[in-house]
Amino acid sequence: MTNTVFNNIAVIGAGTMGSGIAAQIANAGCDVLLLDLGSKDQNTKTPAAAALDRLLASDPPQLMHKRNVERITTGTIDTDFNKLSECDWIIEAVVERLDVKKALYKRLDNVISADCIVSSNTSTIPIKLLVEDMPTSFRERFAITHYFNPVRYMRLLELVRGKDTSSRVISKLADFNDRSLGKGVVRCADTPGFLGNRVGVFALQVGIDEAISCGLSVEDADALMGRPMGIPKTGVFGLYDLIGIDLMVDVVKSLNNILPAGDAFHVVGKENKTITSMIKNGFTGNKGRGGFYKTGPDGLSHTLQLVGHKGGNLPPYAAAKKELPELAIKAAAALAQNKEPLTKIIEGNSNHAKFCRRVLGRVLSYAASLLPTVTETPQDIDDAMKLGFNWQRGPFELIDAIGHSKMKELLKEAGVKTPDALQHDQPFYKVDGSALTVRHADKKYKPFSLPPGVIRFQMKRRTMTPILENEAASLFVLNGFAEGVNDLRLVEFHSKANALTDASMEIVSAAAEDHGSGIIIHNDAQHFSAGVDLNAFRNYIEKEDWNGIDAFLRRFQEAVCKLKYTPVPVIGAPSGLAAGGGFEVLAHCDRLVAHTNSVMGLVESAVGVVPGGGGIKETYLRWFNAKKSWEDAAWNTWMNLGYAATGSSPELSAKLQYFLEGRDETVMNRDRLLTRAITLVGEMQDNYSAPGKPSLRFANHGLLEKMSDFMEAGVERGDFMPHDKTVAMTIAGVMIDATGQNGEATENMLYEREREAFIKLAKTSATYQRISTMLDDGAPVRN
């Protein structure tokens, strides 16, 4: 990753946002200067130096590798301010006070070069106020670059242009943030709250307001205003807890202060006395004593009992319900069948249905009311919500899914006016030939707009027809995406969490047979694949259908083996989590083009089984190629799998041999994954030949004793459970010949041993209990 736009970058302000921005710049391979105030005394670290400690300890990690912190130089505003004269981009991320920011800009103007760009990370203050006292030469080089927290993981950058900001400055900032920092750049007008927070925070406030009005429990409101609406599973109250209730109150107050009179936000932005009482008593969310959720004295999740509470004092807590609302169950069933979930949650006369109708009516109406004053195109608002708040669909996509006639009914029930943008029955998104178009505020359809080289397959697939599909996956033909590279096959998983089933692997197998000139495994979901569907295995175990498990694993192995030896290049292009069976698919690809936030690993031991789709075999081979010793390969594979180790970035996955440096590659912007995968297939085609069958040997039988002693000592210390040893030694048995022959092995032999090992463990009660616990409790049903 290299930077061709800026040579010297500085961030002023080492708080959560400033340090996160500096970390992402360092992740991109750039050096960055991080400045803040001086230390309080000689025995205290400066705020900037302390920020590095927080980055190194952050979870999830803000740094893709801890050594990236070495690219961050710290200093103080008092002693190191003159170093800013060498910078060509300075990001201001100081306290959200207009007077402080203005004073800083005046100091900067006396020091920085005539070409230096300055941008602010403000989330609320308009440019016209920030630079109203500054000369034109400064205003021309000033913009707002509003990042979202955590900076490494949140894809949105709101880029705000002032009246005097030059086009060159905006282009440089947009290009660098896109290509080097991996951001989806949404260009915003200089209006209060910009786009993301204005709609996103309004949606949260409406969710709380309607939950109280409709008499819904905290957990029921989150279950409905989460996955069924395509919003992260935290829902409303869970997200409040995650961000920090006190911080959310500050954000709401700020928006209340800056939004114009008459804005609908003011209705839901008033002080909530219950929330005020929570903060006063230390219930500020996950970082405090708890929030709307907390762990009770019984160790279980408890929720604040809002139903019937009149406000003022702190309501009591009670054990959270595990059962999902009926409408949420219906929505999940619809999703599993690739049907529209929204129609399920707005049906009927229950308080749950009323809640969903009113939330959707109010939120979607508010988003539509921002056309054209805030932006001319619905795409900007949809992109802001998908990239900045992790919505699966933006407000205007949701409106299209509900349908305009039904939408009018929701608006009437919610008691809100129908915005001009919703006065017309035409959809906001429409396919015109092979192009996706968007209805703008002027009612004209214009092309869906993305920077050159960016492909969002979730949107592009609307213009395409798969050649084969089922409920879990689809197979597409790719033509015309790159010059001279045509007739490719793309496999897209699209089940819940992209959990792999027989149906998923049918599409993989079909792609290997009808392979065209190359195959790409890619999808646009939050996670590439969470692994094989554990529900299927629990059903097999409950029926004691061991032949069924063997047949399932055999079909999985046959599919990935065909993929590996297909006579055309096969590229895996993952983003998000690629765990268990999801990684096993990637392990059989020729090369990976991975997003820099990809998490890879074989985690089956955590639920008491072993990788059964070639994962042990492929990891064993990779470690042998790295160590040139079958015993070292077996030991390292055993440690990887036994600890269910994952790498939180491709760079860290390389330590586990899950990402092969020098062969595989990374892309900072996940929207550029598919473009790079397509061009890579083209680069490989001329001289490509399928891999030959590998030479394999079993590791020395004596290694079993060392492994057994290691596990026994861990059990005695309390580090492992007895069943952990059973699982670990079963993994070892796949790579080590128990007869002591230590002879040659074949891929088929290891495939067979994986299946046998999996079934052996599946027959144990401990493994059944672990799988059930994961499905019933460990897999987050609500929060």
* Beta carbons within 8 Å of 77's beta carbon, 6+ residues apart: 12, 35, 36, 37, 38
User: Bigger pLDDT: 400 or 778?
Assistant: 400
pLDDT in tens, 270-284: 999 999 999 999 999
Tell me the C-alpha distance between 343 and 587, whole Å. 39
CB atoms within 10 A of CB 67: 10
According to the model, what pLDDT value does residue 311 have? 67
Task: Classify the C-alpha dihedral 50-55-60-62 as positive or negative.
Answer: positive
pLDDT at 336: 84
Percent of the chain with pLDDT over 70: 98
The per-residue pLDDT for range 693-723, each reduced to its tens digit, is 999 999 999 999 999 999 999 999 999 999 9
Question: What does the alpha-carbon distance between residue 92 and residue 122 come to, in Å, rounded to a whole number?
Answer: 8
pLDDT band for position 490 (50/70/90)?
very high
Average pLDDT over residues 729-742: 85
Torsion sign across C-alpha atoms 103, 107, 108, 110: positive
Binning pLDDT at 50, 70 and 90, where does residue 47 land?
Answer: very high
User: Which of the four pLDDT bands, split at 50, 70 and 90, describes residue 780?
Assistant: very low
Q: Burial, 660: exposed, middle or buried (Cβ in 10 Å; 0-12, 13-18, 19+)?
A: middle
Tell me the C-alpha distance between 208 and 346, whole Å.
18
Q: How far is CA 742 from CA 726, 727, 735, 736, in A?
A: 22, 21, 10, 7
Take residue 547 and report the two structure tokens written for it.
Answer: 């032949």
CA angle 385, 491, 498 (to 5 degrees): 55
Entry pTM = 0.93
Average pLDDT of the segment spanning 169-191:
96
Query: Whole-angstrom Cα distance, residue 783 to residue 772?
Result: 18
Predicted confidence band of residue 550 (pLDDT cuts 50, 70, 90): very high
The length of the chain is: 783
* Residue 425 confidence (pLDDT) above 70: yes
pLDDT at residue 494 greater than cutoff 50: yes
Cα distance between residue 149 and residue 17, in whole Å: 7
Interacting residues of 375 by C-beta distance below 8 A, sequence separation 6+: 188, 189, 195, 381, 441
How far is residue 482's CA from residue 478's CA, in Å, rounded to a whole number? 10
pLDDT at 3: 47
Rounded Cα distance between 642 and 733, Å, is: 13
Phi, psi of 92 (to 5 degrees): -90, 125
What is the separation, in whole angstroms, between the first and last Cα of the chain?
36
The pLDDT of residue 719: 96
- Is the pLDDT at 360 greater than 90? The verdict is yes
What pLDDT does 94 receive? Answer: 96
Report which residue type is found at 589.
Answer: C
Q: Report the pLDDT value the prediction gives residue 777, as an integer from 0 to 100.
A: 67
**Under 8 Å CB-to-CB from 545, ≥6 apart: which residues?**
none
d(C-alpha 624, C-alpha 588), whole Å: 16
State how far the Cα of 211 lies from the Cα of 188, in Å rounded to an integer. Answer: 31
Distance CA 176, CA 451 (A): 12
pLDDT surpassing 50 at residue 782 = no
H-helix segments, 605-736: 615-627, 630-642, 650-653, 673-685, 703-717, 722-735
Residues 6+ apart with CB under 8 A from 274: 304, 306, 309, 311, 312, 314, 315
User: What pLDDT is recorded for position 740?
Assistant: 62
Q: Are 734 and 753 in contact (CB under 8 A)?
A: yes
| pLDDT confidence tier of residue 299, bands split at 50, 70 and 90 | confident
Q: What percent of the chain has pLDDT over 90?
A: 91
Q: Which helix (H) or strand (E) holds 411?
A: helix 404-414
What does the pLDDT read at residue 783?
Answer: 22
